[in-house]
């Protein structure tokens, strides 16, 4: 809209052609009219502002009324635990520690209260519920629902219950108020937002942009009428088959489990039975949620999928009658199901449709890598299947079955493979008590050999196979030194890479965190050069930005180094290792636990007091460990990792000096490294 003064000037120009007396009259009348319009506009703005204020006050009153309606049914929950030291020593009564209060929501007038599993992963020594009037009453933990991240408590008291919002009344865009009583048992804190999505966490929850965090976990998410939409929970947005441990609070979104869903599960929880997510145990050929069709890469041995007879190559068409076009559809079908429930799957196998039924379980058996004991010659192109046997590991199933160097693999159990990754995936889910048939060509003749895979041997230190890239020229240096620059980081990365292998041949890579100080490239070349050139490996040593110490932020440099180097050289994903000497070994462990790029971790003389992995070993995500140093603590760590299914080995060695590449037991280390790529 043009300014008022401009409009008056334009009108004055229009009247200039009229007779002079008439102009004066018209101008006066026009001015009076415009003045009236200005006063009217001022009144309109004032009225609009007044209406806005009235609307805001009415809105605030509605939020307040909704919160007050629910407040009597929202309680504070206090939990008490024995101190860790007393628990380990078996003492009782002493060292009781109170944790921060959490929120509970009354869902039954007989004292049933739902709260967040967040505060009950350990079993409390005692539980007190603080009512809105300040009275404290003891509570009993009835059961946990690990799928929805909630628990059910009961107090011996009749309490007012919340009113559930009808599930079909919840819609995207409607008001949502998140309530919590962490700070006050009398009045709930509140955060206002909207319902921003439905069917999140693979069908378990609604999503809201109201502030959701541990402060209000276990509290209700209510609508403008004071009806409870759901219980605020530390849900994940969704993991396939096995859950992780990252909660999405303080990120602009929160989740609430549908109250209707919870009420249907209460009879099970009242009976004292915990509820767990239902796991199927397949490894999809492609991990992308939006990828389709969904092809089974393999079924984890001993899993529901394995017991149901699902095989590599099966295409999943339907799950419980719902079409499965992309991986996310399968996750949605599984997300709402619990352990001990069944899922019916329609598969297409070899052009024919078939139905299988799998009874889901709460956990998949610990997975351990399989092996035949074959070292294959390098592929001519990245990702291409290598078929020619280069060496056979002594004492392995392949050795016992009579494989020899030069054998050409044609198929496994009647299936040929275009990619080496497909061969590895098929072997990764092979049963340990069932033989497989390998068709091969030897001396221009085809034959079939039967053998049974075994669990992966982690301590292969003595067998370094014949050179993958033999050469008769020993007069020239077969590795070169390169300085690699990482974007946005000042750290120097000094690398040695082989020079006499085909440019298309995938190579292994050791990304090492060195001890603070200078790296001796000549020593590195002399101790690792022959291995790198004959077996096809590169070594990249990262140095700290500050010469005296590492920082926590530099952990990500390992993955960045891999990304940078794979732009220059084709890498073999089964032979990418994060390593470190001294304190650098701790960074290597941290980097491997946060990245999916590493196939192995190698530490030199690193003091490891504490290290844990996020989940148990899986066919699609395995990790090997080699700890070199004093064996006392390292052996305990290796045993703990082996129980989780990982292949962890120790190599006893005395105290090593800083940057000890030249004194480490390199022959055994080289054998372990090259063994990572065996079949």
Cβ–Cβ < 8 Å for 259, 229: yes
Q: Tell which residue, 510, 623, 622, 506, has the closest CA to residue 572.
A: 506
- Residue 676 CB: number of other CB atoms within 10 A? 20
pLDDT in tens, 416-444: 777 777 788 778 777 777 888 989 899 98
CA angle 295–297–300, rounded 5-degree value: 125
Interval 505-530: pLDDT, tens: 888 899 888 776 667 777 778 788 88
Q: What is the mean pLDDT of residues 165-189?
A: 88
Above 50 in pLDDT, residue 127? yes
C-alpha to C-alpha distances, 37 to 23, 34, 47, 658, nearest whole angstrom: 21, 5, 15, 86
Beta bridge partner(s), residue 511: 540, 578
Which among 226, 217, 208 has a CA at the least distance from the CA of 182? 217
Beta bridge partners of 197: 207
| pLDDT reading at 84 higher than 60 | no
- Domain spanning 479-675, CATH class: alpha beta
- Closest by CA position to 316, among listed 286, 293, 283: 293
Distance CA(113)–CA(119), nearest Å, equals 14
| Rounded-to-10 torsion of CA 559, 562, 566, 568 | 120
Query: Which residues does 288 contact at the CB level (< 8 Å), separation at least 6?
Result: 327
Confidence tier at 5 by pLDDT (50, 70, 90): very low
Least confident of 88-102, 194-208, 222-236: 88-102
- Do residues 347 and 319 lie in contact, with contact meaning Cβ atoms separated by under 8 Å? no
How far CA 431 is from CA of 57, 365, 494, in Å, comes to: 68, 13, 43
Per-residue confidence (pLDDT) for residue 632, from 0 to 100: 76
pTM higher than the cut 0.75: no
Q: Note the CATH number of domain 71-270.
A: 2.40.10.120
Helix (H), strand (E), coil (C) string for 351-382: CEEEEEEEECECCCCCCCCEECCEEECCCCCC
Separation CA 666–CA 679 (nearest Å): 23
Contact yes or no for 278/343 (Cβ under 8 A) = yes
Token representation of residue 580:
């470190």
SS3 578: strand
Q: Nearest Cα to 261, choosing from 422, 149, 419, 125?
A: 149
Cα 537 from Cα 558, distance rounded (Å): 16
**For residue 313, what pLDDT band results from cuts at 50, 70 and 90?**
confident
Give the residue-averaged pLDDT of 37-51: 57
Across the chain, mean pLDDT equals 81
Alpha-carbon gap, residue 511 to 543, rounded angstroms: 11
d(CA 219, CA 68): 14
Handedness of CA 417, 421, 425, 430 (dihedral sign): positive
pLDDT at 587: 87
pLDDT, residue 274, reads 94
For residues 46 and 333, give the distance between their C-alpha atoms in angstroms, rounded to a whole number: 55
Q: Say what the pLDDT of residue 473 is.
A: 56
Matching fold, domains 284-359 and 370-455 = yes
| CA 116 – CA 575 distance, rounded (Å) | 42
> What gap in Å lies between CA 328 and CA 318, rounded to an integer?
13
Residue 476 has pLDDT above 90, yes or no: no
Q: How far is CA 300 from CA 65, 98, 326, 363, 435, in A?
A: 53, 42, 21, 11, 16
Residue with tokens 């299988």: 356
Cα–Cα distance, 264 to 274 (Å, whole number): 14
Work out the percent of the chain whose per-residue pLDDT is above 90.
28
Residue-wise pLDDT for 227-255, tens only, equals: 999 999 887 654 434 333 334 444 567 89
For the cut 70, the answer to whether the pLDDT of residue 191 exceeds it is yes
Ordered by start, the domain boundaries in the chain are 4-64, 71-270, 284-359, 370-455, 479-675
Query: What is the pLDDT at residue 32?
Result: 44
Return phi, psi of residue 285, to 5°: -65, -35
DSSP H or E stretch at residue 229: strand 228-233
pLDDT tens for residues 544-585? 888 777 788 888 888 888 888 888 888 888 899 998 888 888
Which value, in Å, is the radius of gyration of the alpha carbons in the chain? Answer: 34
User: What average pLDDT does this structure show over 212-218?
Assistant: 86
CB 579 within 8 A of CB 548: no
3-state SS, residue 283 = strand
484 forms beta bridges with: 493
Q: Cis before residue 293, ω within 30 degrees of 0?
A: yes
Of 248 and 331, the structure prediction assigns the larger pLDDT to 331
> Picking from 175-184, 320-329, 516-525, which range would have the lowest pLDDT averaged per residue?
516-525
275 with 269: CB under 8 angstroms?
yes
Rounded (10°) angle between helices 4-15 and 20-70: 160
List the single range of 13-22, 281-290, 345-354, 627-636 with lowest mean pLDDT. 13-22
Superfamily of domain 370-455: PDZ domain (2.30.42.10)
| 284-359 to CATH, choices 3.40.50.620, 1.20.140.10, 2.30.42.10, 3.10.450.50 | 2.30.42.10
Task: For Cα atoms 83, 84, 85, give the angle at the middle one, nearest 5 degrees.
Answer: 95
Find the mean pLDDT for residues 590-619: 78
Q: In this predicted structure, what is the pLDDT of residue 42? A: 56
Confidence at residue 552, expressed as pLDDT on a 0 to 100 scale: 80
């Amino acid at each position: 809209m043009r300014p008022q003064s401009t409009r008056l000037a334009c009108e004055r120009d229009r009247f200039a052609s009229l007779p002079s007396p008439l102009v004066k009259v018209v101008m006066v009348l026009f001015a009076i009219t415009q003045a009236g319009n200005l006063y009217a506009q001022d009144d309109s703005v004032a009225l609009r502002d007044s209406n806005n204020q009235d609307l805001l006050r009415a809105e605030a009153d509605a939020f307040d009324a909704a919160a007050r309606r629910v407040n009597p049914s929202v309680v504070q929950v206090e939990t008490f635990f024995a101190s860790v030291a007393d628990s380990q020593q078996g003492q009782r009564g002493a060292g009781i520690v109170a944790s921060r209060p959490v929120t509970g929501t009354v869902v039954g007038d007989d004292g049933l209260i739902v709260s967040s599993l967040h505060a009950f992963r350990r079993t409390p020594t005692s539980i007190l519920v603080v009512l809105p009037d300040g009275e404290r009453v003891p509570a009993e933990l009835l059961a946990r629902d690990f799928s929805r991240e909630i628990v059910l408590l009961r107090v011996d008291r009749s309490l007012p219950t919340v009113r559930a919002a009808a599930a079909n009344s919840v819609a995207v865009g409607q008001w949502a108020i998140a309530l919590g009583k962490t700070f006050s048992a009398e009045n709930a804190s509140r955060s206002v937002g909207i319902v921003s999505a439905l069917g999140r966490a693979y069908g378990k929850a609604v999503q809201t942009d109201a502030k959701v965090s541990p402060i209000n976990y276990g509290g209700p998410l209510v609508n403008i009428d004071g009806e409870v939409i759901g219980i605020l929970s530390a849900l994940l947005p969704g993991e396939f088959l096995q859950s992780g441990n990252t909660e999405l609070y303080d990120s602009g979104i929160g989740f609430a489990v549908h109250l209707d869903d919870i009420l249907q599960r209460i009879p099970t929880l009242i009976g004292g039975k915990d509820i767990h997510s239902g796991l199927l145990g397949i490894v999809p050929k492609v991990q992308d949620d939006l990828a389709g069709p969904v092809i089974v890469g393999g079924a984890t041995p001993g899993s529901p999928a394995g017991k149901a007879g699902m095989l590599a190559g099966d295409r999943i068409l339907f799950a419980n009658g719902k079409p499965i076009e992309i991986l996310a559809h399968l996750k949605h079908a599984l997300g709402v199901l619990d352990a001990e429930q069944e899922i019916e799957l329609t598969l297409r196998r070899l052009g024919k449709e078939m139905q299988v039924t799998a009874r889901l379980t709460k956990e998949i058996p610990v997975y351990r890598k399989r092996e035949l004991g074959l070292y294959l010659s390098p592929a001519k192109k990245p990702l291409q299947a290598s078929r020619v046997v280069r060496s056979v590991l002594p004492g392995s199933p392949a050795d016992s079955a009579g494989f020899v160097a030069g054998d050409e693999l044609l198929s496994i159990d009647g299936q040929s493979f275009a990619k080496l990754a497909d061969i590895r995936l098929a072997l990764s889910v092979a049963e340990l008590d069932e033989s497989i048939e390998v068709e091969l060509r030897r001396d221009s003749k085809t034959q079939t050999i039967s053998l049974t895979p075994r669990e992966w041997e982690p301590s292969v230190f003595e067998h370094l196979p014949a050179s993958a890239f033999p050469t008769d020229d020993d007069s020239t240096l077969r590795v070169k030194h390169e300085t690699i620059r990482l974007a946005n980081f000042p750290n120097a990365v000094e690398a040695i890479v082989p020079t006499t292998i085909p440019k298309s041949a995938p190579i292994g890579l050791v990304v090492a965190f060195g001890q603070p100080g200078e790296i001796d490239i000549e020593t590195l070349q002399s101790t690792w050069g022959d291995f790198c050139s004959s077996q096809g490996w590169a070594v990249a040593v990262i140095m700290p930005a500050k010469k005296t110490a590492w920082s926590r932020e530099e952990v990500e440099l390992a993955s960045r180094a891999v990304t940078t180097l794979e732009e220059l050289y084709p890498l073999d994903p089964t032979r990418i290792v994060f390593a470190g000497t001294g304190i650098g070994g701790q960074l290597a462990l941290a980097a491997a636990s946060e990245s999916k790029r590493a196939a192995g971790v190698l530490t030199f003389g690193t003091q490891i007091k504490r290290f844990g992995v996020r989940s148990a070993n899986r066919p699609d995500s395995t990790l090997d460990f080699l700890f070199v140093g004093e064996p006392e603590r390292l052996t305990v760590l290796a045993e703990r990792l082996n129980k989780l299914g990982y292949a962890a080995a120790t190599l006893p060695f005395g105290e090593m000096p800083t940057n000890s590449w030249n004194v480490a037991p390199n022959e055994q280390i080289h054998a372990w490294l090259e063994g990572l790529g065996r079949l």
